[in-house]
Every structure is written in C-alpha cells, then in structure tokens.
Amino acid sequence: MLMSQSRGSQNTYLLVPILLIALLLSAAVIRGPNLVCLSGFGSAIIVSAPLILATFSLMALAVAGRGTVDLAVGPLLAFINVTIVKLNGLGIVTGPFGVFLVALGIGVLYQLFFALIIIFVRVQPIIVALSGFLALTGINLVILPRPGGTAPDWMSSWGLGNTIFSPILLIVLLAIAAWLLFTTTSFYANLRLMGYDERAAYTSGVRINVVRIGAHIIAGLFVGLGAICYTALISSGDPTQGTTMTLTAVTALVLGGVSLSGGRGGVAGGLLGALNLFLIGYVLATFNFGSTQAFVTQLFYGLILVLSLLLTLLVPIIGRYLHFISPFAAFAVLGCVVVGIMLYISTRDTYGVAVAGEAFKSNPDVMTRYLLLPVQSGSGPALPDLTPLQKIVFGFAVILAVLTFTVRVIVAEAVSVRLGAFIYVFVSALILLLFLVVGQQSHAAGILATGQSLGIGP
C-alpha cells in the first residue's frame, strides 16, 4: 500500500497546473472566441513558443539542483536574437543552417561556460546567473541600441500565425519529443538523482560534473531554439525584453510545479506552466483596462508568481490526500470537457449558417451535433453522409470509447510511475481532432463568406 501510494503521488504536483489550464482555457475561449480558429491557434502557438522553450531551458537546469535558476535566460534569448538580426543585417549569416548553428552554438557555449564556472570556480549558480544577466543585458544594448533590424527572409513567413502547422510548432514538438526521449536514458535518472541529492549521487558513483554539463548543454539548446522562435515572432531584434522574458519564464516554471530546489520537474510541467501563463495574458487582454492594461498584467504576473510559489508548499499535502488521482487522467477528463467547450464555442455561430438548421432538429445528440455536422456540412468529402440513426450510434460509440478510456486511465495510471504510451496517442488524437474541426470550420466559413461568422475566422 505504501509502495503504491508513494508511486501514485509522484506526479501529483501536476494536478494544480492541469486544473488551472482547464479553467483558463475555458475562460479564454468564452472571453475571446477568436482563439478557436486556425489563425487563433496558430498565433497562440507562435506567441507562446519562445516562452515554452525558455521555460524548458530553465526546467532542465532546475532539475539539475543547487537552486539553479538561470535568471539570464531572458537576456540570453535576447542576445541570440539581436546577434541573429545583426549578422543578418551585415549579410554574414543569412541561411537557415547558419542561423540555427549560430543560435544553438551561442546558447550551448554560454551554458557550457556557466556549467564550467559552477563546477570549477564553485560559486553559487545564482551568482553566476546574476552576473550573466547584468553582462548580457548590457551587451545586448551595445549590439543593438534600440529595437529594430530585420530577421532573415526565409523566417518571415514563420511568424504570420495563420496556420497551425508552422515550422514553429515543429520546433516545439521536436523539443518536447527530444526531452521525452531523453527521459528514457539513464543519464536523465542520474540528472534527477543529482538534482535531488548531489551528495548521494556523488557517493553512488555518478559523475556529477559530466551530468551537470549535460544539463546545461540541453538548456543551451532550448534557449537557442527559443531565440529562433522569438526572432520569427517579432521578425526583428529587441534587446529590451530580456528582464520580462526572464520573469515570465521563471513564473511559468514555478506555475508548472517544477521544484526550484531540484529533482522534481518535467516537460509536462514546463509546458503546462508556459501555456497557463500565455492564457493568463490572453484572458487579461480580453478585459479592457484602458491605460492601466500593462500595469494590471504586471500585477497579475507578480501575484501569480507569488501564489504559485506558495502553492508549491501544498504539494506534499495534495500528494498525501489525492494520491489516487492520476494527474494525466485528470488531464484527459478535463481535456475532454475543455475541448467540448471549445467545439461548442467554435461551432455555435456558424452552425446555423452552414447547415441551415435542417439536421438540427432531427438529431439531439450533443456530441454528434457539434463534432460531426460542421465537418460534414463544410466540405463534403471529409465524412460520408450519415443517416440520423447512424449518427446517434456513432456518437454513442465515441462517448463510450472516451468513457472507457478515461476510467481505464484513472485506474491504471494512478499507481504507475510512467505514463502508458496510449495516453499520449489519446491526447494527441483529441488535439488533432480539434484542429481538424477548427480547420474545417475556418475553411467552411471562408467558402460561405457569409460575414456572419462572428466568432471565427479572419
């Protein structure tokens, strides 16, 4: 029992960000339905990508322990950004290969330097980070005194955000996949052990210096990718946003439940934290605070950082009482609910226009109505014509399948350390479905060009 309890409670720290993201996503969709369409998702991905990658970078270092919070992550990102823009402006490095090489190279070199100082000079990491913060903030302004310059030409289409499947999404997905692959190695086990208890790791023969350097190199790669996404996003250079980026990334890290004292954390936490923070900004932007908008955002970011830090005190308590709930099962359940809300919002306005209400009366099944019909009506070939009976049967089958999956997940995952592969498939299928529906919606709205599709489309 004890065994299963301790194993079950391993990931409970994720419950808080998962609950938060469900609430925020619902609020975001209700407050600003523009989110649920191709360009909405596309721009959301592009805007949040630099933050996600910066958070990953912090996460890799936080897992390595010793209270390593790389405060210089924002200025480093800005440094790579202005370097890319400057080199592009001078015509030295313009091609994709060169830019990636420069970005990842700077990130890795800086982090390698960072690691070597921690290991050999044996100064507290936070001091090195502060030092780097000051130095990089200064040198950024020297390289590019004010925001300006242009990103490489081939990057200009990346930041448009009118489609979901942009290269930015690919970069983020590759980063996530790479980290997940990395977690299967024994190097990752050593990293977590070192972060949790460095002395224990040392005495059990882990070569902690090598592990630490490895963690920093991974962090450097993430920062480099983040800088590329950031450059694509703003398609110019901006030396002034470093401090803000650091603060938001640290907030995202804490919000995602990653322990700043080391050993606890993962890609799910970092991703959820960054998305949460993006959604908070999104929801706040839908309220109109007039001239105080920036200050309200500042206030909320600060408060959220403080509150989520205080929440981490509750993690052991949550773990004690809720150990039987698998966070990923909760994610799946909440995900279904939120996707339902999103689908409802996205199809509410166009439904009447597109289908002209004919099938509306004949088919009361919610699932079928909102999931299948718009697709069918938008561009015929996606699904064959179904009779109402078939629709009902199909809808119930889907609901049954979802319920079975959910129950199965809750029971099975509560005691397992690692997640079964199928939940990834399940969640990604869910997201893919959403994208498809939304894509069809936008498409349909574009074809019909009724101009009445209030919530959706360009």
Partner 1 sequence: MSQTFGDGGRNGGLFIPHSRALVWLNLAVTFVVAAISFSLGFWQGLSAQIVILYTIVLAAVLFWLINYVAVIFESRSSSLETDTAAPAGAGGVWAGNRVLIITMAVMLIVYLLITATVPSFRSLGNLIAFLLLEAILVFAFKVGNRFAHGRSAFIGLIVLLALIVISSFTIKGFLSAANIKAILLFAAFLGIACVGQTLVALLGGLDLSIPFVIGASNIGLLFLISLGVPPWLAVVFVLIIGGALGFLNGVLSYRLQGQALILTLGMGFAIAGLVQILTSIGSSFGGNVFGTVPKWLQNLAAMNGRTFGLAVPPTILLWIVIAVIVIVGLRYSAFGRYIYALGGNRRSAKLIGVSEFKYWTLAYTISGFSAALTGALLLGWSGGGFIGVGDQYLFTTLAAVVIGGTSLMGGYGGYGYTVIGVLVLQVLSAFLIGIGLKYEWQQFIFGLLILPMVALYGRAPHIRAQV
Interface with partner 1 by CB under 8 A: which residues? 67, 69, 117, 121-124, 126-128, 130-142, 145, 198-199, 202-203, 208, 247, 250-251, 254, 260-261, 290-292, 294-306, 309-310, 312-313
In whole angstroms, how close is the CB of 307 to partner 1 at the nearest point? 9
The least CB distance from residue 149 to partner 1, in Å, is 17
Residue 25: which of 366, 305, 341 has the closest Cα?
341
- In angstroms, the Cα distances linking 346 to 35, 45, 306, 437 are 9, 18, 34, 9
- Which residue, 199 or 361, has its beta carbon nearer to partner 1? 199
**Count of Cβ atoms closer than 10 Å to residue 97 Cβ:** 8
How far is the C-alpha of 78 from the C-alpha of 87, rounded, in Å?
14
User: Of 95 and 138, which has the nearer Cβ to partner 1?
Assistant: 138
Nearer to partner 1, 129 or 172 (CB): 129
Report whether 88 contacts 149 (CB < 8 A): yes
Looking at residue 184, its amino acid is: T
DSSP-assigned letter for residue 240: S
Contact predicate 309/83, CB 8 Å: no
**Distance in Å, CB of 56 to partner 1, minimum:** 18
With respect to partner 1, which residue has the nearer C-beta, 157 or 261?
Answer: 261
Q: DSSP 3-state assignment of 237?
A: strand
From the CB of 104, what's the least distance to partner 1, in Å?
A: 23
> CB of residue 152 vs partner 1: minimum separation in angstroms?
25
Task: Give the residue with the Cβ less far from partner 1, 45 or 255.
Answer: 255
Nearest to 142 by CA among 59, 198, 86: 86
Q: Least distance to partner 1 from the beta carbon of 240, Å?
A: 11
Extract the tokens encoding 152: 């490489």
Which DSSP symbol is given to 23?
H
Of 136 and 168, nearer to partner 1 (C-beta) is 136
CB of residue 311 to partner 1, shortest distance in Å: 11
Beta carbon of residue 244, minimum distance to partner 1 (angstroms, whole number): 10
Nearer residue to partner 1 within complex by CB, 209 or 406: 209
* Residue closer to partner 1, measured from CB, 251 or 376: 251
- For 265, the 3-state DSSP assignment is coil
Within 10 Å of residue 121's Cβ, how many Cβ atoms?
Answer: 9
Task: Give Cα separations from 304 to 308, 318, 427 (angstroms).
Answer: 6, 19, 27
Helix (H) / strand (E) element for 232: namely helix 208-234
Find tokens 């889907």 and name the residue: 398
